[in-house]
Each structure stands twice: as structure tokens, then as C-alpha cells.
Amino acid sequence: MTENDTEREPPGIGPRDWKSHPAYVSPEYKSTVLRGPTKPLVPITHSLSELTGPVYGAECVGELDHDLTRNGIKDGEPLGERMIVSGRVLDEAGRPIRNTLVEVWQANAAGRYIHLVDQHNAPLDPNFFGGGRCVTDDEGRYRFLTVKPGAYPWGNHPNAWRPNHIHFSLFGPSIATRLVTQMYFPGDPLLEHDPIFLGTPEIARNRLISKFSLDVTEADFALGYIFDIVLRGPDQTPMET
């Protein structure tokens, strides 16, 4: 390490692209009305407080944490359609974000969460937990094994159903790159009725939908889906060539 390195500032992070992210108050999604901030956000110049963030590497990931088909087993395999979801975590310049923690949680194949608050009248699966995590590799790649989550009803409006989805949580290099999102499935007829998905600016919605991939699919084992995730940064637009 040179002396310069010890004085090095972390790289800058470009702005949150509000054309890509949902607004705080989105009246069709009823609980946003009393919960989303209503005053304008105050601009902030990033300091170390925003340009640093927690680093969770491979040491915090257990052997089965990436495999939701096995990490909740009690006396058999979980029911449902086995699937693989894999993708790359990239920045806006397309560079891989390495060694970053990816956390997921989801309903079981029947559309029921293990969470105690979920009272949906669909069966729990004694062999499925629904939570997992992994760390991206040198190419920014992550991979989970799971079963396809079921749709489930919610109380937003009469006959409201959430489309099939997997919740994702990512850190990236700093607090400014933090992202919590949901991954959806191609062709889901519930998408056009879902105020959470539709709360996203139209131009950005398709970025939330995974792609079926025969390459990721494993013969006689599990269907494959690709879901690439783009986090904020860097703060300078590379030269177009």
C-alpha cells in the first residue's frame, strides 16, 4: 500500500435515478399514503458516511444458505417446482460488484410465508424455510436454488393477489448503493393488477422481471431464471465509444 492509498477517498456514487424508482406515496398501494415521506427530500453531499458501508463476505454465509431446497429440511424435500435463480450484480457502468451479500426471502410453493404474521390459509411446508443468502463471486454472480414461490392474497383491495416474487436485499459498496427489491416472473398475469409492481415507473418495470433461461435450467432437476441487478454508481459516465 502506498502513502497515497491511505489517503484515498472511496469512489463516488452517482445519484439515485428517480425515473427508475417508485415514488414514496403511491395511492393505489394504500399503506403508502400514511407512511411515505411527503416533504421534499433534502439534498446531501456524500461524505464518508454515505460512501462507506458494511462488508459481509463469504465468512458470514453458511454452507446451505444459498440452497432453499435444503436449508429448511426436517424430514423430506420441500414441495413445489424446483428452480434456480442466478444473475449478476453490476454497477451502472456494467462492472461486476464482487463479494457483496445478497439476501433473499420468499413464500413457499403454496404462497405462504413462514413468518408468524402471515395468516394466509395455505399450508406451511415443514421442509421449507424460505430465507437464504450468498455472496457474489469475482464476476458479480450469485446463484440460489429454491422452489418457485406461490402467489398470495393481501388486504390492499378486494381480491388483491401478489404476483409470484422473491424478495432481494443487496448492499453493494456503500450505504448509498443499498437496495431492497423484488424479483418477478415472466408472463405472470397478476403483474398488471399489482399496485406494488405498478408503483414502479413504467419505463423501469421490466427490470424487475426475471428471464427464463434454458441455459440456467438443469436437465431432470430445476428450471432456470436469470435476474441481473444494477446498483448505483460510479458517479462518472464513462466515455461513449
Partner 1 sequence: MSHKQTPSQTVGPYFAYGLTPGQYNYRFAEVASGSMADDKVAGEHIRIIGQVLDGEGVPINDAMIELWQADATGRYAGDSDVRANTGFSGFGRFGTGTDEENRFIFDTVKPGSVENGAAPHVSIIVFMRGMLTHAYTRAYFSDEVEANANDPVLSSVPEGRRETLVAMRNEEDGNVTYRFDIHMQGDAETVFFDV
Interface with partner 1, residue 62, by CB under 8 A: yes
Is 66 a residue that touches partner 1 (CB under 8 A)? no
Q: Tell me which of 29, 142, 152, 184 is the catalytic residue.
A: 152
| Selected binder of partner 1 within 27, 48, 81, 157 (CB under 8 A) | 48
User: How far is residue 196's CA from residue 154's CA, in Å, rounded to a whole number?
Assistant: 11
152 is known as an active-site residue = yes
Single out the residue of 125, 133, 210, 216 in contact with partner 1 (rule: CB under 8 A). 133
Please indicate whether residue 66 is annotated as part of the active site: no
Near partner 1 by CB under 8 A: residue from 12, 14, 80, 96:
14
Residue 174, classed as helix, strand or coil, is coil
- Using CB under 8 A as the binding criterion, the count of chain residues that bind partner 1 stands at 91
List, as one string, the DSSP characters of 96-144. Answer: B--S-EEEEE---TTS--SSTT---SS---TT---EEEEE--TTSEEEE
Q: What is the rounded CA–CA span in Å between residue 234 and residue 95?
A: 9
* CA 67 – CA 85 distance, rounded (Å): 11
Active site residue 46: no
Q: Which of 7, 21, 18 is CA-nearest to residue 182?
A: 21
User: Shortest gap between Cβ of 143 and partner 1 (angstroms)?
Assistant: 17
> Where in 143-182 is the site for partner 1 (CB under 8 A)?
167, 169, 173-176, 178-182
102/220 with CB nearer partner 1: 102
Distance, in Å, from the CA atom of 42 to the CA atom of 221, rounded to the nearest integer, reads 50
- Which one of 27, 58, 93, 126 is in contact with partner 1 (CB under 8 A)? 93
Catalytic residues, which ones?
113, 152, 162, 165, 167
